[in-house]
Chains A and B, each alone.
Chain A
């Protein structure tokens, strides 16, 4: 038999592994962070400066100062410290230096987040919560503030299925906790806001080519600039293709001889995407389209094993226009309009023929918000109207049509948020949003409250309370569902969180957070229904309680070495039985390290996660894993060539994610060691 990717659980049953990793890295960071920086009494803003360079900066002429290259200080301290949530921001530099390929890679490096990949889509888990049959509908994905979740499955596209090339991002803002008070549905566990680069950051063109293991090819061409009048624009085209893992072994399908459990050449993945943005005179526009075709090697839903005709195509297009106007010194008006389309095409191969599954969504959104500043507070009021004029689902097989569900819906939302600066040390933030689902569930009101105290300049304490909802989506309600599904009501969450950020040394910050999530009427997927198309259906079921502690250390050490280490301990259990939820790791470690090598003008990046063991959907345990990725990069300057090399799963760990209800596999194997080389050219 040819060698193929198998699960090789090399001792990863060790339950203490992630913990040990965390302890080790924490210790490393702490020792390195405290000693050099503290000993020299450096300022937080000046942690990484070269001594000689800094000493006589004031003696430089103004023109020369403008040419001094800087290590950007993390704006985290200023901006995120005031936010009414626990926030992590990932910048473009980190994305490039760590060789993140997709948003899923970015999220794997964020404290408390983990990603499950079933070799079709990437599903994000937040604070121990990732349910089978949930297509990221409990996380809201925004692109420059524009809602990206579709309106049929409410899916946030995070892996290669994302219509946004990650290289176009300036930063990713990850906002933990519920934000329904501002955004309505889906802002249940977290909001992920993607901010793209502006045309001005390019001033010319940029071409990038990538090649790697698994016959991976990826290319991008981006053009951007700014006119003298201050208008800026950017346009970018990306294409990607890979054969994926050409040989996968699934023991569940190994019947000896006849079917050996090996799938060949059924893991292909390709996408193309186009994105354009522009800004002028208070107007901001963005539009994009992306399409991804993925061959599914796992034979879900009892499809024919190893049949490459089983595949999904996801196409997402959007156009968004925003107008922002300062009415007077204290008042800003923000008006937005958007048109969105989503198309899902699933083909599932059976011996008898192809089961053709289709989802079509189209919607128009309008939103207006007014921000008014007062001497001690800032008041935001807003209105949103969404017309989901197409939320269609259909299915057919060789016998003819099985489902043809066409419908639409309307939603209005009204929200208000007030930030009150009670004293220099105390900030209060309260928000409230009312959503009305016409003809369905009626209205829902969701508040959020935050008390932000800074007892000293070096510390911030946040006390957070929030409530959020997620409305059942058309897929859960109408996909050939049974009578129970038609009765679905929104699920709800209440969260309590206390977060403490402390600068323990000039350039070292520690964050500790304790949280509790109470989820009520959770919409759960059940199997075994005779009335539904796929035997699966949804109902309001369990109440779930999640509790946990998060620790993070983030710092800049001597020589510009930057590190971020997060450790999470959590427990997510069903209230009725006290049983731990499936796919809910008890421990999770994330680690990101960047080491500049100035002599070579290069940066070494290392990121890793260690995930504890997870319960399977059915009984049994998926072993824990420690997966590390290493990158070496040299950036392209104003004009010239940039190059980087990334090795993923550096230690070639055999590991897997738990399979979902539609899979016969208990564990879905992930890739072993792979590599990518990138060349980029700036003009």
Chain B
């Protein structure tokens, strides 16, 4: 059946309305200032830096007193440039911070962020760096139960963390203040941690 002239006009009307609605909504969204919200991984990057402020690595983990703190991302990188941006030009205890993308767990990393893409081998990854003073961080559900040290999670639209300090190498020192915040934050227990 051939569509009538009127029906064709109707379709175009519908499409035009949809287009106008989309554009209108878009303009409306751009016109008003955004509330102070940030993207998930910018906050996670900032949080990693902030947690690192309260952690001390053994001096033997640095090749020289001015060597940078090595921040590694293992697996599919969810940060994009957010981590590099957050750490650029920052200093902690005289050390700069350098971001590296790695394919395998590397004991020379100071901080190792494990992407969710590696979820099937979290246990193995943790095992490989457990004896080194590597601060393992992941936002994968259940990371600290697997023996990971810092687990980030999202709840009620903001990022939280738990610290499983017992899983860490004795060479890694956590400030009491950090553990205190983590304890207050303790919305999630790490479960059968060791």
Contact = CB atoms under 8 A, between A and B. Distances in A.
Given A43-B80, A47-B39, A69-B157, A229 B189 contact: yes
Given A71-B39, A598-B35, A606 B155 contact: no
Given A66-B185, A329-B123, A50 B158 contact: no
B37 A65 contact: no
Given A77-B78, A329-B147, A53 B38 contact: yes
Contacts of A406: none
B34 interface: yes
A618 interface: no
B77 interface: yes
Given A57-B86, A330-B124, A378-B121, A49 B38 contact: yes
Q: How many interface residues does chain B have, given as a range?
A: 35 or more
A22 B52 CA distance: 48
A16 to B, nearest CB: 10
B25 to A, nearest CB: 4
B42 to A, nearest CB: 5
A580 B80 CA distance: 46
- Max chain A Cβ within 10 angstroms of own Cβ: one of B76, B86, B127, B158: B76
A46 B15 contact: no
Contacts of B51: 62
A488 interface: no
Interface stretch (A78-86, A303-311, A492-500, A511-519): A78-86
Nearest to A49: B39
Contacts of A66: 47, 158-161, 185
B139 to A, nearest CB: 9
B35 A13 contact: no
B23 to A, nearest CB: 8
A595 interface: yes
A45 B79 contact: yes
B30 A50 contact: no
B interface secondary structure, majority: helix
Contacts of B39: 45-49, 54, 70-71, 73
A47 B80 CA distance: 10
A interface secondary structure, majority: mixed
Contact of B46 (A65, A325, A593, A599): A65
Contacts of A244: none
Contacts of B38: 49-50, 53-54, 57, 68-71
B189 A65 contact: no
A67 to B, nearest CB: 6
B69 interface: no
B99 interface: no
Nearest to B157: A69
Contacts of A604: 25
Interface residues of A, number: 94
Interface stretch (A108-116, A246-254, A557-565): A557-565
Contact of B14 (A419, A423, A601, A651): A651
A78 B116 contact: yes
Contacts of A57: 38, 42-43, 45-46, 86
Contact of A46 (B1, B82, B156): B82
B4 interface: yes
Nearest to A608: B18
Interface string A81-108: 1100000000000000000000000000
A476 B192 CA distance: 47
Contacts of B67: none
Contacts of A48: 37, 39
A282 interface: yes
Contact of A597 (B10, B11, B32): B32
A48 B82 CA distance: 12
Given A14-B8, A70-B154, A78 B76 contact: yes
B26 A32 contact: yes
A287 B28 CA distance: 44
B40 A78 contact: no
A577 interface: no
B56 interface: no
Interface string A135-176: 000000000000000000000000000000000000000000
Contacts of B45: 57-58
Given A58-B90, A62-B51, A68 B189 contact: no
A70 B43 contact: yes
Nearest to A41: B81
18 contacts: A10-B7, A11-B8, A44-B78, A45-B79, A49-B42, A52-B36, A66-B47, A70-B158, A78-B117, A326-B145, A376-B121, A457-B76, A559-B29, A559-B34, A560-B29, A561-B29, A598-B33, A598-B34
Given A43-B81, A70-B40, A593-B25, 11 more contacts: A42-B81, A43-B41, A46-B80, A49-B37, A58-B50, A62-B50, A69-B35, A77-B76, A78-B117, A597-B29, A606-B21
Interface of A: 9-14, 17, 20-21, 24-25, 28, 32, 41-50, 52-54, 57-58, 60-63, 65-73, 75, 77-79, 81-82, 200-201, 226, 229-230, 281-282, 325-326, 328-331, 373-378, 419, 421, 423-424, 454, 457, 506, 557-561, 593, 595-599, 601, 604, 606, 608, 626, 628, 630, 638, 651, 653
5 closest cross-chain pairs (CB), A and B: A11-B7, A43-B80, A45-B41, A230-B189, A57-B46
